[in-house]
């Protein structure tokens, strides 16, 4: 009769466990200390946004309070539109909301429309132009293409402020001041976007383009049907930079815009801040800032994964 196998009981060493816990605890504390500067940096970005958010929902009487409150005690939407305001009758505690401030068609919505048209036109136009130029530079044996590319890249070293006066003179001579053309045309050429797309296209094999040419596809069809779909991650990544830059563009619109009807959101907010002084008007100004920030935040969150993918796939090869 075979003897039953004996099993050795597993005895935990009481001297080992107490030594592991402090080591893990020290590693956790060390990691938290290393992340502390990033937490503090994030607070510097979150705090202004939080202040804007609570100011939007404060009534006029609470905006004038000293010391200020950090949580709205009586939240209201009057800073967007105040039905109790009357231009012919003084009503204490009621001022114009953001949609009642400008005497233009559609009020503040006009500036939202201007920014939307300008941003979409510049984003789509600059991406199409840059992708076409990148395709020619990388997949065509154009004489002097390397020199042309180097000159375009070198233009990024020139401060853009130096071109403000020449561009203004050109827009004035063309009669494009205070027009959509003055907004859009000078912003279509973007050297960094071209540089980025060129690096991305270097990863696409030339045999793919040659096969399309053998099948009888023309250059425009190759660019539209093959190159653009392959560039989709890079185009999405660049669109984030372009959208955020053009949506928040202030200096160039301030120079060429002469009327309220053609102002974009940053120019409208700057004029609003100069027209109305005092703490009681900050609620409407902050409401305009909140409306201006929401589309850019939503766009970034929607395209964030494409941004990361485009940066990784580009590899910055050259």
Within a domain: 132: yes
How many domains are contained in the chain? 1
Contacts of 18 (CB under 8 A, 6+ apart): none
Within a domain: 15: no
Q: Cis omega (within 30 of 0) on the bond before 317?
A: no
Identify which of 243, 254, 239 has the alpha carbon closest to the alpha carbon of residue 116.
243
**What CATH number is attached to the domain comprising 207?**
1.10.3720.10
Q: Give tens-digit pLDDT for 2-20.
A: 555 555 555 445 554 455 5
Whether 190 contacts 133, CB under 8 Å: no
Q: Per-residue pLDDT averaged across 11-35, rounded?
A: 62
Q: What is the domain range of residue 254?
A: 117-258+303-314
Within a domain: 79: no
Q: How many other CB atoms sit within 10 Å of the CB of residue 90?
A: 8
Please tell me the pTM assigned to this model: 0.81
Within a domain: 274: no
For 175-199, b/e burial (b = at least 16 CB within 10 A) is: ebbeeeebbbbbbeebbebbbbbbb
Of 29-33, 53-57, 93-97, 163-167, least confident by mean pLDDT is 29-33
Within a domain: 72: no
Within a domain: 58: no
Within a domain: 111: no
Q: Give tens-digit pLDDT for 135-152.
A: 999 998 888 888 999 999
Within a domain: 173: yes
- d(CA 312, CA 318) in angstroms, rounded, equals 15
Whether 251 contacts 240, CB under 8 Å: no
Sign of the alpha-carbon dihedral angle for 282, 286, 288, 292: positive
On the question of pLDDT at 34 being above 90, the answer is no
């Amino acid at each position: 009769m075979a003897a039953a196998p004996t099993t050795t009981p597993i005895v935990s060493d009481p001297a080992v466990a107490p030594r592991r816990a402090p080591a893990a605890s020290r590693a956790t504390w060390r990691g938290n200390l290393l992340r502390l500067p990033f937490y503090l940096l994030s607070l510097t970005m979150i705090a202004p946004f939080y202040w804007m958010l609570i100011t939007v929902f404060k009534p006029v009487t609470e905006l004038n309070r000293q010391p200020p409150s950090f949580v709205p005690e009586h939240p209201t939407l009057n800073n967007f539109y105040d039905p109790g305001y009357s231009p012919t009758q003084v009503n204490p505690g009621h001022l114009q909301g953001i949609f009642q401030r400008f005497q233009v068609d559609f009020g503040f919505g006009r500036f939202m429309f201007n920014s939307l048209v300008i941003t979409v036109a510049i984003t789509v136009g600059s991406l199409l132009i840059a992708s076409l130029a990148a395709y020619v530079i990388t997949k065509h044996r154009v004489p002097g293409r390397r020199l042309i590319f180097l000159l375009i890249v070198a233009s990024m070293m020139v401060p853009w402020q130096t071109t403000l006066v020449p561009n203004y003179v050109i827009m004035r001579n063309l009669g494009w001041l205070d027009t959509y053309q003055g907004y859009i045309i000078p912003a279509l050429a973007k050297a960094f976007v071209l540089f980025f797309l060129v690096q991305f296209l270097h990863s696409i094999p030339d045999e793919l383009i040659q096969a399309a040419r053998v099948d009888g596809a023309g250059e425009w069809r190759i660019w539209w049907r093959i190159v653009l779909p392959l560039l989709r991650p890079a185009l999405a990544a660049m669109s984030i930079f372009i959208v955020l830059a053009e949506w928040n563009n202030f200096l160039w619109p301030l120079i060429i815009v002469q009327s309220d009807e053609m102002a974009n959101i940053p120019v409208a907010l700057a004029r609003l801040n100069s027209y109305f002084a005092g703490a009681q008007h900050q609620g409407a100004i902050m409401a305009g800032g909140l409306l201006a920030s929401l589309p850019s935040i939503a766009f970034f969150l929607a395209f964030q994964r494409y941004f990361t993918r485009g940066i990784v796939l580009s590899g910055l090869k050259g």
